[in-house]
A and B are shown apart, each in its own frame.
Chain A
Amino acid sequence: GQNIDQPTEMTATEGAIVQINCTYQTSGFNGLFWYQQHAGEAPTFLSYNVLDGLEEKGRFSSFLSRSKGYSYLLLKELQMKDSASYLCALFAGGGNKLTFGTGTQLKVEL
């Protein structure tokens, strides 16, 4: 099976940088996703890591270490609209299934 852990809630200040961590235990996976989900809406894709290292996309970066069972999502220059839930998910198996963590609710304050 797979087990994914994320902090439940985080609070950060507008304009700051925040790092959301995700740790996992799994017997094998193809890659790790990060999705953003605003309240009452569908998840939307942010990033996908297959190899160890950092993937950068604008204000968002995601890091993966397979040997440590660890990933993080880095959000820079925080904006109020970044207040949302951030979901870490492992991509594996026949059917290309996703297994999600419970999500981290980020609140951005002035």
Chain B
Amino acid sequence: NAGVTQTPKFRVLKTGQSMTLLCAQDMNHEYMYWYRQDPGMGLRLIHYSVGEGTTAKGEVPDGYNVSRLKKQNFLLGLESAAPSQTSVYFCASKKEGQSSYEQYFGPGTRLTVT
């Protein structure tokens, strides 16, 4: 099992460019999450999904869109990148059910917007 993987690992964008971050998990988890982590701010939830075809807004959704067309993949899109979106992005997944509480994190994508 690869667990949770993220593509790409690093990226530099110019202001106004667009890009898509891919998160993939091979654990058949229902729930998937996108977070951003900035110095001194901790991890903040951007968007999440409770199953294939569903998405919902988290704490900081502005400037991002997501899609969950396949259960194993959760895509995060930036339509017009801004310097404020420079951050480390983590994806996580979780099994459905009350006894399955742990979120498993991917290795992160380091994005710089100039």
Contacts and interface: CB of A to CB of B under 8 A. Distances in A.
Interface string A86-110: 0101010011111111110000000
B110 to A, nearest CB: 9
A8 B39 CA distance: 11
Interface stretch (B12-20, B61-69, B71-79, B97-105): B97-105
A18 to B, nearest CB: 20
Interface residues of B, number: 23
A43 B31 contact: no
Interface string B41-52: 111110010100
Nearest to B103: A98
A45 B101 CA distance: 10
Contacts of B90: 42-43
A36 to B, nearest CB: 11
Contacts of B44: 100
B42 A96 contact: no
Interface residues of A, number: 23
B102 A45 contact: yes
Given A48-B101, A87-B42, A41 B107 contact: yes
Given A42-B106, A95-B31, A95-B50, A31 B101 contact: yes
A103 B108 CA distance: 17
B94 to A, nearest CB: 6
5 contacts: A95-B50, A96-B94, A96-B101, A98-B45, A100-B42
Given A89-B43, A95-B56, 6 more contacts: A42-B106, A42-B108, A43-B43, A87-B42, A98-B45, A102-B41
Interface of B: 31, 33, 40-45, 48, 50, 56, 58-59, 90, 94, 101-108
Interface of A: 8, 30-31, 33, 41-45, 48, 87, 89, 91, 94-103
